Structure 1
Amino acid sequence: MAASTTLLHFAARLRLLLRKWARESDAVAPKAARVSVLRLRLLCPIVALLNAVHVGIFYLAWRSNTADDVTVQWQWSLMVAHAVMGVLMLVASAVAHRIVRTPSAGAIRVFPAVVMALGLGFAVSVVVIDQWVTPSITPFLIASLATGLVVYLRPASATALYLVTYGLFYLGLGLQASAPAQLLSNRLNGITACVLGLSLSIVLWRKFTIITRQHAQLAQANAALEKLTRLDGLTGLYNRATFVELSQRELARARRADSTTAILLLDLDHFKQVNDSWGHPAGDAVLRHVASLLTGTVRNTDLVGRLGGEEFMVLLPDTNAVDALALAEKLRQRFEGNPASWDSGAIHVTVSIGMASTDPDAAVGFDTLYQAADKALYQAKQQGRNRVAAGQP
């Protein structure tokens, strides 16, 4: 009973592991197929060249042969087999180049398996022809290992392909070999070649899967780290350092293009009272609400950042002072008319906005523009808050 329970437990864990590997294989299969196509694009011409060399050598041997008919037949058959394989490899190379230039998901998925089948089928034909003069199955062993090494195939697909290949190998040897002992030995050696090739294919597939997933996880971690270092953790807007960096780039571009750029500096009115009256969690909710209103109002090309506390900034590329003031007033009205929801109530907040813009003829840096907007913001607060004021750098 204990042994039976252990066996069932092991089988259940094995099923879970295989399902996990299957999901991972599904995730990396498209990339594996693309890598295989790129490899075959380089390998197919090399194989075609080797086929051409064999055709030349066998042709010369065939022309000068004075031996028996079996040797002549062997040379002629191998010459034809290599010629056909060379043509197929040239065609495969052209197809691979076409797939790389104009990718197709179906072609990328099927092409590596087709080329692998051609290689193994060619190896079977060469071994069968060789049986006229030699019992060696070396070409089949080389092809089994090479295809498992070069082409990434999912284990199930590779298993099916090797099984079909061995079936052809088994039948082909039966048509040529005459000595029972030799036939048995070669068939057993063929099993070994297929098992080695399949094992190599599975091991390399699993290694590729692990490495690809590790790279993906590392990329996700780097993206998350970059997000943490470039975005404000509470609102998801650009943090101060990132906003300044991007604004400096935009101002440099604007100077080269002789275009105007405007900046809005926003400060929530009496925000301290929100924290004192409702608590800091409510204050955080208000800040997130502000970020949502800002990003939902400005253009996708505008930069929105949280400079710290309750202070926000918007950079408006290709925007003159008149349009910037119109947007600032629109924002002010949206803040005034859209309170932040909190628990069962609403928190009303207003905003004071300072605006400054550049002149296409003047080289204005970020610090100068920011100082002008800050002075305008100070004026808006001095004039009673919940209003917009304009400054000039």
Structure 2
Amino acid sequence: MAWRLPPVVTAVGALFLNWRLPEGNWPRPMLVLYCLSGMLMMTGLMAEHLGGAGEGEGFMAKGLVVVIALVAVLATAGARDLVLTYGIPALALGWVVMGQSLSAVEWFSALIHPMLMAVLGIVVAEELLRVRLAAFAARQELARNASTDVLTGLANRRAFDERLEAEHARSLRVGSGYALVMTDLDHFKHVNDTWGHEVGDEVLRELAQRLVSVLRTEDMLGRWGGEEFMALLPGAGEREAMTVAEKLRHAVADTLFATSAGSIPVTTSLGVAVFRGEQLPGMVARRADIALYAAKENGRNRSETA
């Protein structure tokens, strides 16, 4: 009973934690503890049978092999956890076997199957870890592709809208505020018609890099659509937002764009809107769009606010 109690208590503890702390960081440590307690249980029971009449030795040896194989399946975090899970029971089992008056053949027979299963268990655990990491990487790649603009590497419209909604909700809740800066390339159709869409794509990629270089780490830049980009500036007022907008404008207009067709002059118009307690983020974005239209109407290569 003493050998069987630890894994039972560990299992009950895991169920309790799953009920009270379903989002906690306990699963992996509890899994290792559960596997270790199961291994120690089988090692202890086998040790008792080795030191006794030995009637259940074969059964206990088989049980130990099963537990070792089970641990290999459960311990999917790689071989590092198996050092603890396998190491302590292996040392204990070796100590018990060495303490018995066994011949070399009996000693080998007692240890060979557990040791073989330990080696196989390590291989299985490493392969399971490899599969888990590959699956995790695939999921991360899918998530990244779903939220990233393929051409520029910026957040796409969907990802930007999610961040904007979160910032808008926070501003409504705590009154922190934010600003939006919408930018649109001037006469971009002329670029595509004159030098081709490949050069147009080069311009968009370079534009994204220049705009990002101006923004703070807490700001977010996304591709709003086509040649339109939107910057979210958390905590910014109108004066700060207009300053950023002018920096963005100069980052584009002051240096020619190096493309495969040669150096091309590019300018951009910008519209700024500051959160004023609107109930929906789309209302703020709409004002930024109106300000951008005003910048286009007033001569382009300028910043306007609404």
1:380 maps to a residue whose letter is A
* 1:319-355, Cα deviation, whole Å (9 max, x unpaired): 1111101110111111111322223832221100011
Aligned CA distance change for structure 1 residues 304 and 203 (closer, same or farther; 3 Å): same
1:43 Cα offset (Å): 6.7
- Residue 356 of structure 1 aligns with which residue? 273
- Residue 290 of structure 1 aligns with which residue? 207
- Residue 305 of structure 2 aligns with which residue? 390
2:224 maps to a residue whose letter is L
- Residue 315 of structure 1 aligns with which residue? 232
1:135-214 correspondence to structure 2 within 5 Å: 138=57, 141=61, 145=65, 148-149=68-69, 150=71, 169=97, 172-173=99-100, 176=101, 183=103, 187-214=104-131
* Contact 1:350/1:386 (<8 A) preserved: yes
Q: Which of 169, 173, 182 is residue 256 of structure 1 equivalent to?
A: 173
- Residue 288 of structure 2 aligns with which residue? 373
Q: Distance in 1 between matches of 2:28 and 2:222?
A: 45
- Residue 148 of structure 2 aligns with which residue? 231
1:141 maps to a residue whose letter is A
Count of equivalent residues: 270
* 1:179-210, Cα deviation, whole Å (9 max, x unpaired): xxxx5xxx434423322112322333233222
1:278 Cα offset (Å): 2.1
250-259 or 195-204, larger mean C-alpha shift: 195-204
1:262 Cα offset (Å): 0.9
1:304 maps to a residue whose letter is L
TM-score by length of 1: 0.59
Q: Distance in 2 between matches of 1:382 and 1:36?
A: 61
1:335 maps to a residue whose letter is V
Q: Distance in 2 between matches of 1:247 and 1:167?
A: 63
* 1:283-340, Cα deviation, whole Å (9 max, x unpaired): 1111111111121111111121101111100111111111101110111111111322
Q: Distance in 1 between matches of 2:143 and 2:244?
A: 31
Aligned CA distance change for structure 1 residues 262 and 135 (closer, same or farther; 3 Å): closer
1:1-393 correspondence to structure 2 within 5 Å: 38-39=30-31, 41-42=33-34, 127=50, 130=52, 134=53, 138=57, 141=61, 145=65, 148-149=68-69, 150=71, 169=97, 172-173=99-100, 176=101, 183=103, 187-343=104-260, 345-359=262-276, 362-391=277-306
- Residue 21 of structure 2 aligns with which residue? none
1:138 Cα offset (Å): 2.6
* Contact 1:231/1:238 (<8 A) preserved: yes
SS in 2 for 1:235: coil
Q: Distance in 2 between matches of 1:164 and 1:344?
A: 74
1:142 Cα offset (Å): 7.0
Larger helix share, 1 or 2: 1
* 1:245-296, Cα deviation, whole Å (9 max, x unpaired): 2211111111111122111110001111222222222111111111111211
SS in 2 for 1:265: strand
SS in 2 for 1:315: strand
Q: Distance in 2 between matches of 1:241 and 1:203?
A: 46
1:214 Cα offset (Å): 1.5
- Residue 7 of structure 2 aligns with which residue? none
SS in 2 for 1:290: helix
* Contact 2:180/2:230 (<8 A) preserved: yes
1:39 Cα offset (Å): 4.6
1:383 maps to a residue whose letter is N
Q: Distance in 2 between matches of 1:199 and 1:350?
A: 70
* Contact 1:301/1:317 (<8 A) preserved: yes
SS in 1 for 2:248: helix
TM-score by length of 2: 0.74
Q: Distance in 1 between matches of 2:114 and 2:239?
A: 73
1:244 maps to a residue whose letter is D
Q: Is there any run of 5+ residues in structure 2 with no aligned partner, and where? A: 1-25
Query: Which is greater in Rg?
Result: 1
Q: Is there any run of 5+ residues in structure 1 with no aligned partner, and where? A: 1-33, 51-115, 178-182
Q: With a CA cutoff of 8 Å and minimum separation of 6, indicate the structure with the bigger relative contact order.
A: 2
1:370 Cα offset (Å): 1.5
